[in-house]
C-alpha cells in the first residue's frame, strides 16, 4: 500500500482527474515533459516574488504553530533596503533584469513560441508593476510553505502571497497567468479553499478574503473566505482521495485531459496490443461477440416461453406443467414496499418506531405479520404499502440430472 504522503492541491486535482496519472506521478515518480505554460508561469511567479519582497511587513503577524517554513527577511538576497521604515521598490529596469535572469527555457516548441511568451511576460510585468505600486499592499508572506490536516489527512502547499487587510485580517492571493479567468472560478476554487485551511491553521489572524489574481487582465477576482459548508466539501474530497490512495484504486479516467497526458503509452485505455497477439485475440473477441448475441437471442426466447407457460398455467388453474424429462413448477414471490412518510406517523403514534427504526420494508412487514400488534393497526399499516407479485419457474427434477 502506498504511503499516504501530504496531499497538495495539485495532487488532489490530479487524482480526481485521473487516479492512474496520479500513480504515475506520485508513486512511480515518472517525469512529465516540460510545457511552455508551466515554464512561463514559474518565471512570472519568481519575478513577482522579487518584486513583492521589499514590501514584506517586517514585524510579521502572530502564528499558531511551527507548521510553516516562512523565510526571514534577512534570508532574502538582493532585496531593497528599508528607508525610514518604507520599502524601496525595484525599478522597472531591475524587474526586467530579473525577468531575463529567471527565465525558464524548457518546454518551448520553437524559438518563435519562446519569443511570443517572452513578449507577453514583459508586457504583463510592466503593466502589473504600476498597479502594484498604486495598491500599497502589506504582504506578510511570499511563496510560503504551510502544512496542516483535514479530518486527520495531512495537506500542504505553497501560498503565493498572504496580505494584511485594512481591517486587520488576512487575504490569501494566488497569481494566475492563464488566458482566461472568471470570478465564478474564484468562488468555486478548491485551491483557494485549501490555502484558506492552511493559512487559518497556521496564523492567529482570520482569513477575510481569497483572491485569484489574473495577471493578463490585471484583475483581482476577490471572494469572501469560505464558510463551513465549502470547507466540509473540500474535506470530503480530500477524504475520498485519501481512501482511494490507501485502497490502491488507480483506474484510468478517460476524458479530455488525456489529450495532454504524457503517459498514454502506459495507460491500458490507449496501449496497443502487440502485433503478434492480434490474430489470436481478434478470434477470441469475435467468438465472444457471437456467443453474446446467441445468449441475447436465447434470453429473449426464454422469457417468451416462460410467459407462455404462465398464461397456460393461469388458463388451466395449475402450478405444475409436465414435460418429457422434467416438471415445470410455477412459484409466486411477492414484495411489499412502504413509503416512510406514510407509515412514520402511525409508528410514532403507537410507539413502534424502535421496532422499525430504519423504516425499511422488511421491518414494517414483520410488524404487519406480528400477532402481538393490534390487528386493526396492522391492517392500517398494511394499507399504506404497495405489493408487487413476481412469478417464476423451477424444474423438478432440475434440468440436467439423470
pLDDT at 93 over 50: yes
The band of 68, judged by pLDDT with boundaries at 50, 70 and 90, is very low
**Nearest-angstrom CA–CA distance, 168 and 189:** 24
The highest-level CATH class for domain 9-266 is: alpha beta
pLDDT at 226 over 80: yes
User: What's the pTM?
Assistant: 0.69
**Nearest-angstrom CA–CA distance, 41 and 121:** 9
pLDDT at 362 over 70: yes
pLDDT of residue 69: 45
* Whether 172 contacts 192, CB under 8 Å: yes
The band of 378, judged by pLDDT with boundaries at 50, 70 and 90, is confident
Domain ranges of the chain: 9-266, 274-316, 319-402
Q: How many helices (H) and strands (E) does the chain have?
A: 12, 10
pLDDT of residue 80: 38
pLDDT of residue 107: 93
The band of 82, judged by pLDDT with boundaries at 50, 70 and 90, is very low
Considering the chain, what is the average pLDDT of its residues? 88
The band of 401, judged by pLDDT with boundaries at 50, 70 and 90, is low
What is the grid cell recorded at 284? Answer: 477470441
The band of 348, judged by pLDDT with boundaries at 50, 70 and 90, is confident
The band of 67, judged by pLDDT with boundaries at 50, 70 and 90, is very low
Nearest in space to 338 (alpha carbons), one of 329, 347, 330, 326: 347
Higher pLDDT, 343 or 397: 343
The band of 73, judged by pLDDT with boundaries at 50, 70 and 90, is very low
Q: Read off the pLDDT of each residue in 283-295 and give the average, rounded to a whole number.
A: 94
pLDDT at 245 over 90: yes
pLDDT of residue 380: 87
Degrees, nearest 5: CA angle 244-250-251: 120
Amino acid at each position: 500500500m502506498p504511503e499516504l504522503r501530504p496531499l497538495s492541491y495539485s495532487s488532489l486535482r490530479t487524482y480526481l482527474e485521473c487516479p492512474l496519472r496520479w500513480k504515475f506521478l506520485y508513486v512511480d515518480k515518472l517525469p512529465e515533459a516540460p510545457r511552455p505554460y508551466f515554464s512561463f508561469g514559474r518565471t512570472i511567479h519568481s519575478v513577482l516574488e522579487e518584486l513583492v519582497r521589499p514590501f514584506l511587513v517586517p514585524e510579521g503577524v502572530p502564528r499558531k504553530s511551527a507548521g510553516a517554513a516562512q523565510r526571514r527577511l534577512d534570508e532574502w538576497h538582493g532585496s531593497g533596503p528599508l528607508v525610514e521604515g518604507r520599502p524601496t521598490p525595484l525599478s522597472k529596469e531591475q524587474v526586467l533584469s530579473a525577468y531575463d535572469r529567471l527565465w525558464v527555457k524548457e518546454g518551448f516548441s520553437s524559438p518563435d513560441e519562446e519569443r511570443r511568451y517572452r513578449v507577453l511576460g514583459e508586457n504583463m510585468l510592466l503593466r502589473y508593476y504600476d498597479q502594484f505600486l498604486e495598491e500599497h499592499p502589506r504582504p506578510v508572506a511570499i511563496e510560503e510553505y504551510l502544512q496542516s490536516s483535514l479530518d486527520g489527512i495531512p495537506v500542504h502547499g505553497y501560498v503565493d502571497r498572504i496580505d494584511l487587510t485594512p481591517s486587520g485580517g488576512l487575504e490569501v492571493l494566488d497569481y494566475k497567468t492563464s488566458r482566461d479567468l472568471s470570478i465564478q472560478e474564484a468562488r468555486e476554487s478548491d485551491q483557494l479553499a485549501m490555502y484558506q485551511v492552511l493559512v487559518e491553521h497556521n496564523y492567529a489572524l482570520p482569513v477575510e478574503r481569497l483572491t485569484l489574481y489574473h495577471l493578463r487582465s490585471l484583475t483581482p477576482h476577490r471572494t469572501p473566505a469560505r464558510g463551513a459548508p465549502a470547507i466540509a466539501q473540500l474535506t470530503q474530497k480530500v477524504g475520498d482521495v485519501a481512501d482511494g490512495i490507501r485502497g490502491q484504486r488507480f483506474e484510468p479516467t478517460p476524458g479530455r485531459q488525456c489529450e495532454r497526458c504524457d503517459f498514454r503509452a502506459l495507460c491500458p485505455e490507449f496501449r496497443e496490443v502487440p502485433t503478434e497477439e492480434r490474430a489470436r485475440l481478434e478470434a477470441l473477441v469475435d467468438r465472444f461477440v457471437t456467443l453474446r448475441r446467441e445468449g441475447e437471442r436465447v434470453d429473449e426466447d426464454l422469457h417468451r416461453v416462460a410467459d407462455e407457460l404462465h398464461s397456460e398455467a393461469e388458463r388451466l388453474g395449475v402450478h405444475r406443467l409436465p414435460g418429457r424429462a422434467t416438471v415445470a413448477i410455477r412459484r409466486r414471490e411477492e414484495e411489499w414496499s412502504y413509503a416512510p412518510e406514510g407509515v412514520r406517523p402511525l409508528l410514532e403514534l403507537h410507539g413502534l418506531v424502535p421496532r422499525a427504526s430504519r423504516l425499511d420494508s422488511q421491518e414494517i412487514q414483520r410488524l404487519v405479520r406480528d400477532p402481538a400488534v393490534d390487528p386493526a393497526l396492522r391492517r392500517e399499516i398494511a394499507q399504506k404499502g404497495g405489493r408487487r407479485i413476481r412469478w417464476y419457474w423451477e424444474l423438478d427434477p432440475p434440468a440436467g440430472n439423470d
